[in-house]
Every structure is written in C-alpha cells, then in structure tokens.
Amino acid sequence: MSARRRVLAATVALLATAALATGCRGGDSGTAQEGKEGVKTDVGVTNEACPQAIDKAKGCIYLGTISDLTEGPFKALAVPITDAQKAFWKRVNEAGGIGGYEIDVTTYVKDNKYNPQVHNQVYQEIKPKVLALAQTLGSPTTAAILPDLKSGSVVSIPASWTSLWAFEDVVVESGANYCMESMNAVDYAVEEFKPKSVMAVHFAGDYGDDAAAGAKIAAEKNGLTFTDVKTAAGQDNQAGAIDAIVSGKPDLVILTTGPTEAAVVVGQAAARGFTGKFIGTAPTWNPGLLKSPAAPALKALYLQSGPWETFSADTPGHKAMRDALGTLPQANDGYTSGWIWSYPLKAALTKAVENKDLTRAGLLNAVKSLDTVDYEGMLPSSAGKYNGEPNETAFRQSVIGKPDESSVTGIMTIEKLFTGPTAKDFSFTKACYL
C-alpha cells in the first residue's frame, strides 16, 4: 500500500518535471524566419551582430570550418588556408558585408585530425549552428559527411580538388581537380622530357586515387606504360613506395601524398640513385621542404603541378590577398588556396541575399544558378560556372612550377594556366577514380 503511494508520488513528480522541461526542446532547423531586410533565413543566420562585428547593426551569417589544424598530415597547409579564409571574410565584412549581414568564420572552427570519423563527429557538433561550411578539408574526410551535406542542403567549400565534387551540387569546388591536374602534368612531361613510363605514387582514397586515375588516363592516351603504387601517410611508411620507384625505374612519378611523405620519397629515391622526374599535386608541397635534407633532390628532380598560380603572382586578387594578410612569417600556397576557394561562396551568398532567401535551400539554389564568379583575376571568371553538366562546366586548366628559393613559397610558376590535350578531350561523365 505504501509502495503504491510512493509509485504514485514518484510518477506525479516525474510528470511535473516533464511538463516543466518540455519547453526546452525546439529552435531546431527547418523553421524559416524573417531576417534582415526581408530575407528569409533558417539555420546559422541571426539578426544579432557577429561576436566580432564591425557594424553592430548588421546580422550575422555563421559559417563552419573543419580543417586539419593540429596533428594531421596537412596541418602545414590547413592552418594557412584557415587564416586566409578568416582574412578573406574580414575583408568582405570591412567592405560592408553581404546585404544586411556580416560573416563569421571564427566561432565554429573545428579540427578533423585528417580522420574521417573525427570529421564527421565535429561536423555533427557544429551543423545545427552554421548556415554553410566555409571549409571542409580533405577528400575522404568530406566524403564521410557528404550524404549528410546532401540531405541537409548544407553548401560547403571543399579544401581539396577531387573530381567527385563536380557531380555534387552541395560541394562548391574551384580550380581543376586532381584528375585533370595530373593529366596536364603528364602531358606537360611528355612535351618536356619524353618519358616512356609513368608511376603514380599516392595515398589511398579519393585524393590519391583521383590523381592516379588522371595520370593513368593521360599515360594511356600518350602510349606510356603505367604502374600504380599506394602508400600510407607517415614518414615511416614510405619504404615500399621508395623500393617500387627505385626498382621500377619509371621516367616520371606522379606524387599525390602529403609534404612530409613527398620529401621522404623524393629524397630517399634520389639517394638510391633514381634519376627520373617527380611531379607532385598541389597538396604535396610546403615551403618547409626546401629547408629539409631532401632539398637538393627536390630541386633536381621535382616539379609541382597546381590549380592556380602561387602566392606571389601578379593579379588583383593575389595582391588583395597579400594586403589582407599583411606580413607573414612564411608565405605558403595554403593562403592562396584558402582565399581563392572562398570567392564562389561569397558570390552564392550575395546571390541568395538578392533572392531574399538565405535559407540552406536558398543558398543551394543560389549556387546552382551561378554562371560566373569574380575571382579578381586569380582564375578566369568562367571557372565559376556551376549551372550545367560537369563535362561542360569543369575547369581544366592548371599550372606547373618548380622549386626555387627566390620565390616566397619556394615554388616558381614555369607554365601558367594551360589545358593539355588529354584533359581537353576527356569526357568527364563521372568521378575519375570510380
């Protein structure tokens, strides 16, 4: 009897707590609100000013950043990318923001350690608080959140160039993908050194596989023999790749790794008597390599392909970037990339505000309607076409550079934006590596 009364009392107490607490949930995604100047908004856009607002009367658009900031293989690039993007959006804010809003890219910055699982975890943390992602670094990492990006219409700026992005509306890429970049690299080498054999040494997953696929297509087109060697991240894991290079003696190696791995592979292959050429894709370089023990080997054997000209190039956009960043302890093309990648998002946000629809769906529609993007000369504005078939919209030009201490990033461009014959004729109907 007393037991029954206690049960009753407990239940009543519980229901009372429940009734009190029910108000807590809510404010989730999905409910459209009226924002500044009649713009429709939902997630990640507030009428209150940003924490570091320049004009306190403006609202705030929150953008998330997921990057490799502490211990992953690309931290030497990722930190500059993130800093450049902070500078880019600060410049946008100083120029009056976008419509009635300023942009915040500093509140939700997360570290992915270049691990897809961590990437997904931190993405889930910031997803309810941001409109879009100003940066999601890495191909396999971004692939981990891709289904969620698509189902939630979360527009995101990749810090990677895999060819898959051309087929995903939510991922707004800039520049030639690894696949095209490697095709151009092989075509360039065919022109310059007349190689007979090509070897792709690459990380597994969407980054390395994509470049290797491009190299393979170009090798077949040029009638060269092709071999494919996978290697894992980490200085100590390169022995297999080095053996393969030294014993296979290819005339050309297309390298798609991180900077540390590149230095080990090139340095040790050269030490063991390898004399063929290396061409590394953009994320393979970091200016620190010229101070490493591998520097002489790199200068002798290594060339660098890239989707755009390096930090010190002479265009209005490059100049604006250098001004915004001020004096840097070490210039790095991470800055250039972070800056360039941000232009299409700026264009999309501007368009969404013009359309009075700054919801996630509205931003995605704005992206899909972009015909050109003003890259301030860093890329042709036709590179920012997102409203058509990938085969016609994909940007196929890339550059080639070589290590040179006189350049601030250690890379001097020797061949400006060009399209090789392979990339030009390539029918781009699905991601290269699939």
- Chosen residue from 47, 106, 115, 315 binding another protein by CB under 8 A: 115
- Chosen residue from 102, 104, 206, 309 binding another protein by CB under 8 A: 206
Nearer to another protein, 58 or 113 (CB): 113
- Residue 31 in contact with another protein, rule: CB under 8 A: no
- Chosen residue from 33, 124, 235, 330 binding another protein by CB under 8 A: 124
- Residue 164 in contact with another protein, rule: CB under 8 A: no
- Chosen residue from 12, 16, 21, 97 binding another protein by CB under 8 A: 21
- Chosen residue from 125, 323, 371, 425 binding another protein by CB under 8 A: 125
- Residue 42 in contact with another protein, rule: CB under 8 A: no
- Chosen residue from 12, 16, 204, 300 binding another protein by CB under 8 A: 204
- Residue 236 in contact with another protein, rule: CB under 8 A: no
**Cα three-residue angle 155-158-162, rounded to 5 degrees:** 120
- Residue 12 in contact with another protein, rule: CB under 8 A: no
Q: Specify whether the CB–CB gap between 59 and 48 falls below 8 A.
A: yes
- Of 14-22, 57-65, 347-355, 401-409, the segment contacting another protein by CB under 8 A is 14-22
Nearer to another protein, 24 or 95 (CB): 24
- Residue 239 in contact with another protein, rule: CB under 8 A: no
- Chosen residue from 31, 56, 57, 151 binding another protein by CB under 8 A: 151
- Residue 5 in contact with another protein, rule: CB under 8 A: no
- Residue 429 in contact with another protein, rule: CB under 8 A: no
**Rounded to the nearest whole angstrom, what is the least distance from the CB of residue 419 to another protein in the complex?**
29
**Rounded to the nearest whole angstrom, what is the least distance from the CB of residue 111 to another protein in the complex?**
5
Helix/strand/coil (H, E, C) string of the chain?
CHHHHHHHHHHHHHHHHHHHHHHHCCCCCCCCEECHHHCEECCCEECCCCCCCCCCCCEEEEEEEEECCCCCCCHHHHHHHHHHHHHHHHHHHHCCCECCEEEECCCCEEECCCCHHHHHHHHHHHHHHCCEEEEEECHHHHHHHHHHHHHHCCCEEEECCCHHHHHCCCECCCCCCHHHHHHHHHHHHHHHHCCCEEEEEECCCHHHHHHHHHHHHHHHHCCCEEEEEECCCCHHHCHHHHHHHHHHCCCEEEEECCHHHHHHHHHHHHHCCCCCEEEECHHHCCHHHHHCCCHHHHHHHEEEEECCCCCCCCCHHHHHHHHHHCCCCCCCHHHHHHHHHHHHHHHHHHHHHHCCEECHHHHHHHHHCCCCCCCCCCCCHHHHCCCCCHHHHCCCCEEEEEECCCCCCCEEEEEEEECCHHHHHCCCCCCCCC
- Residue 185 in contact with another protein, rule: CB under 8 A: no
Nearer to another protein, 14 or 239 (CB): 14
- Chosen residue from 46, 107, 121, 381 binding another protein by CB under 8 A: 121
- Residue 114 in contact with another protein, rule: CB under 8 A: yes
Binding site residues, another protein, CB under 8 A: 1-3, 6-7, 10-11, 14, 18, 21-22, 24-25, 28, 69-70, 110-111, 114-121, 124-125, 128, 140, 144-145, 147-148, 151, 203-206, 232-233, 434
